[in-house]
Each structure stands twice: as C-alpha cells, then as structure tokens.
Structure 1
Amino acid sequence: MSPTPDSPTPVGEQLKARREKLDLTQGSLASLVGVTVTSISAAENSRSAISRSKRPLWERALQLKPGTISAAYNDGTPLEAAQTLTDLPYADMSDAKERAVWEMELPVADRIEIIDAVRARAAQQRRGHG
C-alpha cells in the first residue's frame, strides 16, 4: 500500500531509498552499521524498528542528520540528509546523556568510548542485569 499525499512515507521505504541513493547494497550498509543483512531488510520492509542505540550508526552510514530516524519514527518527519559529514556525531543527539557526552571537550575517540559504555549499560539495564 502506498502512502496518500497526506500520509508520511513509511520509515522503512525512506531508509531503502536513501541506501539506494548512496549506491549501497544491503550487505555494505550492514557492515557499516554493524548489523546483519536480515536486520537491514527488516528495517527497510518495516517489519522492525531500528533500536535507539543503533540509530546514530544508521544515520552516519546513510549520511543523515542526527536524530532524523527517531523523528521519523515518532511523528513521520521525513528523513533528512546531513549537509556535511561534520554534522554527523556518533552520539544520538536526541538522547540527553549521549548529547552531553558528545558536547564534552574530549578527543572524539574518548567520547565514542564513553557513549559505547553508556549504551552497553542501558542495554544491560533493559535486560534486567543492572
């Protein structure tokens, strides 16, 4: 079913269109994001939503503005391409903790390491081990 002029394009269709515009295969996108091809297919076919922790990786790989995937899932906002690669922080800028870490005056590698630790801790807490 295709969207009507007044309804938003499903996020999965937008992700697929963006991947194809960048001339990426599902396999190459999976490698960039660190997920399986099955996960790429499921997201593109709207069978599953991209987890919050993976959205910044998808945004970076697809050269999208930070937070655009969350906005698309939340309210149907169309995905928006980043203007430059410097617009693409590793952090999910819609997450207060990640944004605070990203804005610290630390080397990028240190900020990424801290954000990875924050994400791992959050995942551990969601699994009930924390």
Structure 2
Amino acid sequence: MLLVNGPNLGILGRREPEVYGTETLADIEKAVAEEVAERGWDVVSVQRDSEGELVSEINRRPETVGAIVNPGALMIAGWSLRDSLAAYPRPWVEVHISNVWARERFRHDSVIAPLAHGVVVGLGPFGYRLAAQALMHLVD
C-alpha cells in the first residue's frame, strides 16, 4: 500500500499543532501500518516537498494495492500530481488532517478530489486510519 504525503507534512508534530495536532508523520505511518496489517499489506511511505518527486514516486509504484494521498497544498494546483493519480491503476483515498472548508477560501477546492475514490477531511491524524479502512473496503 502506498502512503503519499505532500509538502510540509514531514514536519507534522511541530507544524501548527493547533491545526494539525502533535502526532508526527512517523506516528501516522505506524498507525496506518497497524490498520492494514490484518491484510498483510506493507506500507510504502513517501513524503516529498516537491511535486515532481511525488509524481515520480507514484509513477514508480503502479503495483501497490492502493494508496492514501495527503497532497497538502498541492490539492490546490498540483496538476502534474493530478495527472499521475489519474494514471495510478488502483483505488486511492485523499485525506486531509484539517477541515479544509473551515479554513481559508483558497483551500476549499481540490484538483485531485474528483479523481479519488473517497475523501476524508477534518478528523485529524485519525483520518488516515479511516482512509486505510476505506481502502481495505475498496480493494475487497
């Protein structure tokens, strides 16, 4: 299973804890791995601050069973990320830690959400666990 995190998500735990909480990306990766362990899935976790590097990582892994994608700010205008996800042959779920619709207006639209099999928004780091559960359901 592919776990993709975009720009600035590598600094979770110290980045605006009032918005994103105090869990680190390592904590989230561990939680997702625990969630999908019952399926015997390995988690390949990728976090990049560069859109091009994220695109390359996704394009290298079409054989993964599915993906959880937190594009961060790339949801707004990450067109090459969108194209990469459009070509990804497995189900994937978009996740956001904060409720993007309760925040600044520029965060209200995602160019990739229309392609996702589902979107989990605003439930904090726990949203990744829910996305993992949804992905297991989608891959049934």
TM-score, with structure 1 as normaliser? 0.32
- When Rg is computed on C-alpha atoms for both structures, the one with the higher figure is 1
Kindly indicate which of the two structures has a greater share of residues assigned to strand.
Answer: 2
TM-score (norm 2): 0.30
The answer to which structure has the higher helix fraction is 1
